[in-house]
Amino acid sequence: MSPEAAGVGVGRSGPGVGAAAVAWPELRGQIGRAGSLAESLAAAAEARTALARRLEAALEVRKESLRQGAALDEMRNRLELRRSRVEEVLVAKRDALQGVERRKEQLQAQIDRVLQLSGAVAAANRQVQEAKEVLSGAMSRLVDLQRRLRVRRQCMIGQVAALYPVKVFHDLPHAENLGANTHGAHGGLSEENGTLPEENGTHVLNVIKFPQVHALSFLSWQIKQSRKQKDCTEKELQRSAAVLGYAAHLKQHLLLQQSAHLST
């Protein structure tokens, strides 16, 4: 028989004892339910505490994840910035290498041109040296020819002066002065229209150098002075002597032809 049925039966039998019997089991049930509720509350509290700890741990993990994510983002940004700088450096390096290559090509072209020009300059220098050598040889030959020409001219003048005497004509007022002035330097004149003394075949030049002489007579040819003798140079004197020698040879050649014609 259940307690509730027993309680109901007791209550029916007597009002005081039955009521107490009925209240006690209910109280015991309520106490049991209260204990179970307390246990449920304790379990719920423990579950809540565990859940709170788990939530806190999850929050900490979330915070750590967020912090690590921020750090990763910052590192990623730094890496991107460094990568961009590295790319810029690589681009600058590539441009610099291209510029160096272009400059190297330009320098190589300039070096080739300088080598060609240096070769041309060396060839020109050799040609100049050869021309200098040829010119020096030609100058030496020219000097030798001039020396031989002077010697030949002097010999010709001496021979002409020895073969054909030259007569000097001068003005009367200067007759006395001519003998006085030329006595020490040129040996003097023999007489007014006489021949000059021969001194190593150079009396023709001495006659031309006299400032007082106004005319020469060469085998019935009269050669007059065209200007003052103080303006004559050594070259002009030599030229005049050479002309005189050529005229003498021409005169001798004509005389030989005339004599040959007369003999035939």
pLDDT given for residue 73 in this prediction: 92
Whole-number Å distance between alpha carbons of 180 and 172: 14
Cross-strand partners of 216: 168, 223
Q: How many residues does the chain have?
A: 264
- The verdict on pTM exceeding 0.75 is no
Whole-number Å distance between alpha carbons of 94 and 87: 10
Q: Residue 12: what residue type?
A: R
DSSP letters spanning 111-123? HHHHHHHHHHHHH
CA 141 to chain centre: 43
Instruction: List the chain pLDDT tens, one digit each, 264 residues.
Output: 344 444 444 444 444 445 555 577 777 888 888 888 888 888 888 888 999 999 999 999 999 999 999 999 999 999 999 999 999 999 999 999 999 999 999 999 999 999 999 999 999 999 999 999 999 989 999 999 989 888 887 887 777 666 655 444 444 444 444 444 444 434 333 333 333 444 434 444 444 444 444 444 444 444 454 444 445 566 766 667 667 767 776 777 777 777 777 776
What is the dihedral sign for C-alpha 39, 45, 50, 51? positive
The helix/strand/coil state of 228 is coil
Whole-number Å distance between alpha carbons of 111 and 105: 10
Q: What are residue 168's phi and psi, to 5 degrees?
A: -110, 130
Which pair of tokens denotes residue 256?
Answer: 């030989």
